Amino acid sequence: MTASGWVRVGLAAAMAFVAASAPAGAQIDARAAAAGLRFAPLRFEAPEPRLHEVQGVPVFFLEDRTVPLVNVLARFEGGYGLFPRELYAAGTALPALLRYGGTQALPPDSVDLLLEYYALQTSFGGGGESVFSSMNTLSEHLVETLDLWAAMMRTPRFDSAQVEVWRGRELDAVLRLPEDPQRLAFSEFNRLLYGDHPVGWEMREDDLTPAVLTVEKLRQLHARILCRDNLMLGVTGDVAWSEIKPSLERMLRGWPPCRTALPKAPEPAIRETGGVFLIPRPLEQSVVVLAHPTEVNLGDADYFAAQIGNTILGAGGFSSRLLARVRTEEGYAYSAASLWTTPRQYKGLVGAVTRTRPETAASALGLILEILQGMRNEPPSRDEVGTAVDQIANGFVFNFETAAQIISRRMSFLSQDLPADWLEDYLRGVQDVTPAAVQEVFRKHLRPGDMTILVVGDPERMDMAALEALGPVTVLEVGGR
């Protein structure tokens, strides 16, 4: 049973208990009755999916008879980040064109009509190292919709007209990039830190020329990524394993195996030297981003203290130090937040981001650096650590709201070589964090003086002397790249 289901059961049991305890015809004192309720401690046991194998493909399965719907999820290892830059646009376009580009048997408009007829909901997405999709269907239409969804992934048409539609939309987004200061800041910051690496790539006009983005390249990537050896499936909903297994066998039978193994993800050479950079823009709100690399990875000994420390610093909303001081005390900005990324296989970033008026950009940046240094100098209070732990622990049950959510997470764990009970390990890990451990992780891994700092804003209205006091300012002239 999902988390929301347990809540409904608990409320119903409490109401029934109060009603049964009252004498016939008696007036119930609700407050006294509620105060007198006694229950055994509530134990939440998360539903546990089963792992099967069909035609060599791992399949997570979790039956859920709550509503007459079935969810099927697919995850393919492989994405644009594993291939050369000339395939970047094709890799980025691939998920959208699986959805809108038709199948070999059906043109795009026919696929749309069938999706509407069966009320089939689908999603397609991807990233640097994976492509994923899901379908949600009425259980009575499972056989027909599973075949249609599989055809969209297995035998896509990549309709040339839809390729042109995608190209036009992406070109428009490229041309509009300089007009979006926050997107521009994040894009340029990634480029500064990661250079010519997929994490630092931003779409350019020359990525989208007809000679670069072709149907042939889409088919090339499709054959490399959406092959059987890269596939993992998840199924949940109003269906038994004995019912869904034959459909999955039919779906996977004959699905081409991968002809060659995927290339390994390139390890980025992340900028370590720091520096101050300015993108001049006549804006009412400046964007400030600062960070440097850190060696804390997912699952490391320092990982849990970093998670709690990041929550205290700026990821914990109104209880965090950055928001309390930058917004509440000084009024420099409406929002300020920290980041501490922990990739599995290479260095992450620790830093902060805010938006503020040009006149207060340097002051806000100086305050953020002061707060960062404070995390190194002294341990946080036990109350701060307790609040951060409670935020995570109190929200733990919401990781199990739906069966599809549980299945999706288990698929993600398997793809990252994490243990099946990683979420439970995570909860125990953060609950064991002490104030001393938080200070130590910042002392070891945070270097405020080595930050790469990027400001997008109006230099005519900024305190440039204060900005230059942090280091020589390099002006970046960024147009529509």
The DSSP secondary-structure symbol of 405 reads: H
Q: Is 308 helix (H, G, I), strand (E, B) or coil?
A: helix
Q: Are 221 and 227 in contact (CB under 8 A)?
A: no
Q: Kindly report the number of other CB atoms within 10 A of residue 422's CB atom.
A: 17
Q: Where are the domains of the chain?
A: 3-35, 50-252, 275-475
Residue 286 pLDDT greater than 50, yes or no? yes
Q: Which residues are registered as beta bridge partners of 232?
A: 75
Q: Which two tokens stand for residue 55?
A: 């035609």
Q: Can you give the pTM of this predicted structure?
A: 0.86
Task: Give the chain's count of helices (H) and strands (E).
Answer: 17, 12
Cβ pair 177, 205 in contact under 8 A: no
pLDDT in tens, 299-324: 888 999 999 999 999 999 888 999 99
Is residue 135 predicted with pLDDT exceeding 90? yes
Confidence of residue 479 (pLDDT cuts 50, 70, 90): low
CA pair distance 343, 350, nearest whole angstrom: 12
Average the pLDDT over each of 16-30, 73-87, 251-265, 301-315 and give the range with the smallest value. 16-30
Checking if the pLDDT of 410 tops 80, the result is yes
pLDDT at 398: 79
- For 448-472, the pLDDT digits (tens) are 999 999 999 999 999 999 999 999 9
Are domains 50-252 and 275-475 of this chain identical in fold? yes
Q: In this structure, are residues 148 and 132 in contact, taking their beta carbons and an 8 Å threshold?
A: no
Element (H, E) at 348: strand 348-356
Domain 50-252 has CATH 3.90.870.10: no
DSSP 156: B
Mean pLDDT calculated for residue range 41-54:
82
The domain 275-475 is placed in CATH, from the list 3.20.20.150, 3.30.830.10, 3.40.50.1980, 3.30.300.30, at 3.30.830.10
Q: How many residues does the structure list for the chain?
A: 481
- Predicted pLDDT of residue 10: 46
- 383, 384, 388, 389 alpha-carbon torsion, rounded to 10°: -40
The predicted structure's pLDDT at residue 13: 46
Q: How far apart are CA 252 and CA 57, in angstroms?
A: 8
- Here the tokens at position 97 are 């064109």
Residue 53 scores a pLDDT above 50: yes
Q: Give the percent of the chain with pLDDT over 70.
A: 93
Say yes or no to pLDDT of 47 above 90: no
Residue 42 confidence class, pLDDT cut points 50, 70, 90: low
